[in-house]
Amino acid sequence: MRKKISYIGLSFLVTVAITLLFASCLRLRTNDTAVLDKLAARDVGGGVCYFTISDRTMRYAYAGADTLPLLVLLHGAPGSSSGLLDFLTDSLLLSHVKIITPDRAGYGYSGFGRSEVSLEIQAKYIAEIIQRQAFGQPVIVMGNSYGGSVAARLAMDYPELLDGLLLISTAVAPGEEKIYGISRPLHFLGLKWLIPSVLRVANDEKMYHFRELEKMSAYWDNIKVPVWMLHGEADQLIYPGNALYAKKRLKGRPFKLITLPEQDHYIIWNKPELVKETIMNALVELQIAPPEILADASLDWSEAVNSISADETPIRNDFSH
């Protein structure tokens, strides 16, 4: 019996050790040297910057000329700016815009592991970057997944800073997203130490999504800039109902939506060329780039037909509150 107990105890300790080792290794971020090496390899110039706002150190990578309009790319959760480096170093985009990719608060090198669940505060951090880097040029912000939620809040709180808003697979509707069965136990039962810091930050954000998106619902009328939205009809993480919600909340304002049949949440990874087309279309419509850059485009944003109807999109509200 004692041997059995000892074996169980040893197995538990080994499991904990493996879990902690995994947690210490999984960071989903790219250090400054690797970012600079990629910028140099693509011969696009640029660099990495840090600044402190309130009690938070923020990091962002940049490329392109200060005399060009500014494109800000916001990553989702979990992740960091490293997931957007191919966009940051895209030579065609950089011929028309300067690009900045921040690490959102709690990710990458922006206070890694220290969560910031407030969309208002996250938007404030991004606004500070824009104020430092726009140099009076037009500003377009693109957000992927929960980075899009931050981008939308930014457009609400700082309408004077933005000229265009792009939302990719974005959560904007309270409750219209999948909540994992493990999310609540990890959050409420003190089990956060079992998962890597980057996943803990993502879970912290997810557990406050409903509250933060509900708070944001009062400010949709503040969005004055053109909005382009790209969403997968088979998205089982951030449901297509988010696209319908945005369409309703932005009625009567410049809003274009394309939904992609059979596409899941990971458009930015699985269809990066469509994301790039969405960016280029925005640049053309804002008269930042010539129409010729869309010569080979497969998406027709001139029509931007929304294939989702209210009858086809049930509200799934996975987050009980």
Give strand ranges (E) for the chain.
Answer: 47-53, 56-63, 70-74, 98-102, 139-144, 164-168, 227-232, 255-260
The predicted model scores a pTM of: 0.86
| In-domain check, residue 19 | no
| In-domain check, residue 11 | no
Q: Per residue in 171-180, pLDDT tens? A: 999 999 998 8
What CATH number is attached to the domain comprising 140? 3.40.50.1820
| In-domain check, residue 284 | yes
| In-domain check, residue 288 | yes
| In-domain check, residue 20 | no
Beta bridge partners of 141: 72, 165
| In-domain check, residue 190 | yes
| In-domain check, residue 279 | yes
Terminal-to-terminal C-alpha distance of the chain: 45
Q: Per residue in 299-317, pLDDT tens? A: 888 767 544 444 444 334 3
Residue 83 DSSP SS3 = helix
- Structural domain including 172 reads 29-312
CB-neighbour burial class of residue 128 (10 A; exposed 0-12, middle 13-18, buried 19+): middle
Nearest to 235 by CA among 206, 264, 209, 213: 264
Spatial distance between the Cα atoms of 228 and 231, rounded to a whole number of angstroms: 10
Give the number of domains in the chain.
Answer: 1
Q: What is the mean pLDDT of residues 122-139?
A: 97
> Pairing state of beta strands 56-63 and 98-102?
antiparallel
| In-domain check, residue 13 | no
Q: What is the mean pLDDT of residues 37-50?
A: 94
